[in-house]
Structure 1
Amino acid sequence: MMYQSIQTFIEDYKGESEVTQKLLNALTDDSLKQEITPGFRSLGQLAWHFVRSTEMLFSAGVKFDLPPEKEPPATAAALAEGYKRTTQALLDAVQSQLKDESLQETVNFFGMNWKTDVLLYNFLKHEVHHRGQLTILMRQAGIPVSGVYGPAKEEWAAFGMEAPV
């Protein structure tokens, strides 16, 4: 079992989404066009994917409002605000619409039968996966990144230390 209570998921996702929000808040309008290579998601498209992919939870019967736009907003501020609003709506919906017993219910997700706890776990890991991509694109765009599970290179100096290699 991945999650044994809805509250455990909520606490886990709150922590992860706060880190993601901090990174999204650092984006600039110019950075949104940064691509890793032509034909792949730009930084803005990847960041908007955090917002749109929350619909994964619709498979578990969790309903909340998503921004109607499929394409990312033109400004970094609007993108970060969209994530903030969507994250809060998701957390409110999970809190009010799922029960601990719901975690063991089987749901269909893209033709796969997963228990709700597995869906929640994979949803969270999906965000973590894309957050790693986000930090690389941020660096390519010249935007300093904040530490996620430890200090970023730039943050070591604040500790009076050199970043390890």
Structure 2
Amino acid sequence: MTLLKIFSEELASEAQITRKMLERIPDDKFGWQPHPKSMTIKRLATHISDLPNWIAMALTTEELDFQNNNWEEPDLNTTAELLANLEKAVVNGENALANGKEEILDEPWVLRSGDQIFLTTKKREMIRTSLNQITHHRAQLGVFLRLLDIPIPGSYGPSADENGFA
């Protein structure tokens, strides 16, 4: 099995879990944040819903330069908009993986802001990082929801809420 196929299967699996988490966010909690240094639920959930686009970016560009690029996440204000954005981003990521070429996966990819370089990696590692970021930020969202006493869906098995654990 090729790396692109493995990444595609993982994206499909993570998207299914992510849908369940995002659909739990009440529209009236988009401005909530657990701490002044934390993102709001809106910012965090928007980022989560948009991360599959980074897979396409890793496959079709050599870098993201925040200073010289107009990369912006959309302004999403409802759970329905979050879920629609996730679906669009997943399709974008899936299409990029389906049309990608294995031979470019070892080419370099850079994350920067002008002269300040945050990350230099291989395209395949950036795809892996994007998938890991979905999981990482989704776990953050789970903590946010827990603090709001919103039941957490299972990720890789049932959650304590689904099992009735305290």
Question: Could you tell me the TM-score, scaled by structure 1's length?
Answer: 0.79
Moved more, 37-46 or 6-15: 37-46
| Partner residue, 1:150 | 157
Structure 1: 5+ residue stretches without partners: 63-67, 158-162
Match of 1:104 among 101, 106, 116: 106
Q: Which has the higher strand share?
A: 2
CA contact (8 A) 1:72 1:79 kept: no
Q: Percent identity?
A: 24
Following TM superposition, where does structure 1 have runs of at least 4 consecutive aligned residues deviating by more than 4 angstroms?
Answer: none
| Partner residue, 1:78 | 81
The answer to whether residue 119 in structure 2 is matched with residue 87 in structure 1 is no
**Distance in structure 2 (CA, Å) of the matches to 1:11 and 1:114:** 22
CA gap 1:134/1:28 in 2 versus in 1, 3 angstroms: same
| Partner residue, 2:138 | 131
| Partner residue, 1:29 | 27
Structure 2: 5+ residue stretches without partners: 62-70
**Distance in structure 1 (CA, Å) of the matches to 2:96 and 2:2:** 18
C-alpha displacement at 1:128, in angstroms?
Answer: 0.8
SS in structure 2 of the partner of residue 104 of structure 1: coil
**Distance in structure 2 (CA, Å) of the matches to 1:88 and 1:61:** 15
Question: Could you tell me the TM-score, scaled by structure 2's length?
Answer: 0.79
C-alpha displacement at 1:41, in angstroms?
Answer: 1.0
For residue 87 of structure 1, what is the amino acid of its counterpart?
V
